Structure 1
Amino acid sequence: MACALQVRDGFLQQLGLAMKEGHSLPVDLHSELQSCFTGTKPTPTVPFSLLRKLHRFLRKEGFPVYLHELLEGAEIFTPEVKLPERNPELVARLEKIKAKLANEEYRRITKNVNCQQINRHGTLGDLARQVRSVKALVVTIFNFMVTVGAAFACAYLGSQYIFTEPAACVVSAVIVASVVGLAELYVLVRMMEGELGEM
């Protein structure tokens, strides 16, 4: 937090000119100002408390020069804040906690990775599983086509006893095959939902 002003060299010169005109500073105020300017710092700093005293004195005595004129070009001085050193036990404990959290996060990310199953070309078990799934898919498609084809053939042959025109027989066979196909699709979808639910 700012507690002083860095003033220019003209501060004392202007104050000295004002003193020559018949005014004089009290001894304690003059000594405090001198001590601010005789330090080893390259730029003299004057604390706010001293500036308040000087301001009160200038107003009380009716000086021809104002404080803001004396402080022209001054800059606020903010001392460097020194952070307290951290407790080494606390730092070590925080490092332990960070490492533990990082390990837990790593384990959570890699929990579904099994190094023994990772293979560039896959294992024979993977190949057998894929062959089984392809075989089941081929059998299902073949079964669907045979069922729909058989339904169409049966409906076509059966409708010949009812209708004499071939167009009516074909239309009734298509309707029956469509109904059987939709029923077969419904059963397939329900079966796939059951398999996905078990996984």
Structure 2
Amino acid sequence: MASVFVVGDKFNDKVKELLENSDSSLPQRLREELEETLEKDGPKTLSFGTARQLKKYLQDKGHPFYLHELLEDSSLHLPEFVQPPRNPELVARLERIKAKLANEEYNRITRNVNAQELNRSGTLAEIGLQVRSAKAVVVTVFNFLITVVAAFFCSYMGSQYLFTDTSARVISAVIAASVVGLAELYVLVRTMEGELGEP
């Protein structure tokens, strides 16, 4: 936090005039502090307390210049911030907390990862599940084909009592097989939707 001004040439000139003035009634302590400021080598600094005393003196005596005019080319001296050393116990505690949070985050991210799923060969339970799934698909397709073919032959054989022409019998058998196939597909799709919709 700033506590001093780094004064410029204008301040130096005006204060020299004030100090050299023979009828100046500067208090002794203020005079000594101002002289000490002017005699410094390098950057000349003026404390806030001395600046307040000088301002009060100028106001009381009615001098033709004011403090803000004196400090017009001055600047605040901001000391370099020195960071205090960190408490080793606090640092160790923070490291433990960071490690714990990182571990919790890792566990949250990987909680649904199964190490057996990463194995290329898979487990016997997974292989059995895949075989059952493939078996169910093969049985369903085989059942669909048998039903459509049976509907075709049944219609073809039964239409001989209605039609004498072979082409009419084939057309009626294809229509009947198509209707049965579409009905079978509808039932199959509804069954699949029911299985997929279950939680």
Say if 2:31 is the partner of 1:27: no
Paired position in structure 1 for 2:94: 94
* Identity among equivalent pairs (%): 44
Say if 2:55 is the partner of 1:55: yes
Aligned partners of 2:19, 2:36: CA distance in 1, in Å? Answer: 18
Paired position in structure 1 for 2:121: 122
Aligned partners of 1:140, 1:49: CA distance in 2, in Å? Answer: 98
Q: Deviations over 1:111-166 (max 9, x none)?
A: 444556644x4357466654554343333333333334444554666677678966
Aligned partners of 1:182, 1:31: CA distance in 2, in Å? Answer: 108
Given that residues 155 and 176 in structure 2 are in contact (C-alpha distance below 8 angstroms), is that contact kept between their aligned partners in structure 1?
yes
Q: Deviations over 1:42-66 (max 9, x none)?
A: 4222222322221121122122333
Say if 2:80 is the partner of 1:80: yes
Paired position in structure 2 for 1:44: 44
Given that residues 144 and 181 in structure 2 are in contact (C-alpha distance below 8 angstroms), is that contact kept between their aligned partners in structure 1?
no
| Structure 2 unaligned spans of 5+ | none
Given that residues 6 and 77 in structure 1 are in contact (C-alpha distance below 8 angstroms), is that contact kept between their aligned partners in structure 2?
yes
Given that residues 6 and 75 in structure 1 are in contact (C-alpha distance below 8 angstroms), is that contact kept between their aligned partners in structure 2?
yes
Residue identity matched to 1:189: E
The range that moved more, 145-154 or 13-22, is 145-154
Residue identity matched to 2:178: V
Given that residues 156 and 173 in structure 2 are in contact (C-alpha distance below 8 angstroms), is that contact kept between their aligned partners in structure 1?
yes
When normalised by structure 2's length, the TM-score is: 0.71
Paired position in structure 2 for 1:139: 139
Across the two proteins, how many residue pairs are aligned to each other?
193
Paired position in structure 2 for 1:14: 14
Aligned partners of 1:23, 1:74: CA distance in 2, in Å? Answer: 27
Given that residues 7 and 74 in structure 1 are in contact (C-alpha distance below 8 angstroms), is that contact kept between their aligned partners in structure 2?
yes
When normalised by structure 1's length, the TM-score is: 0.71
Query: Aligned pair in 2 of structure 1 residues 154, 79: CA closer, same or farther (>3 Å)?
Result: farther
Post-superposition offset of 1:26? 1.8
- Say which of 185, 190, 193 aligns to 1:186: 190
Aligned partners of 1:134, 1:20: CA distance in 2, in Å? Answer: 110
Query: Aligned pair in 2 of structure 1 residues 59, 149: CA closer, same or farther (>3 Å)?
Result: farther
SS at structure 2 position matched to 1:72? coil
Query: Aligned pair in 2 of structure 1 residues 181, 114: CA closer, same or farther (>3 Å)?
Result: closer
Aligned partners of 2:153, 2:196: CA distance in 1, in Å? Answer: 28
The range that moved more, 67-76 or 84-93, is 84-93
Given that residues 152 and 173 in structure 2 are in contact (C-alpha distance below 8 angstroms), is that contact kept between their aligned partners in structure 1?
no
| Structure 1 unaligned spans of 5+ | none
Given that residues 156 and 173 in structure 1 are in contact (C-alpha distance below 8 angstroms), is that contact kept between their aligned partners in structure 2?
no
Aligned partners of 2:114, 2:28: CA distance in 1, in Å? Answer: 86
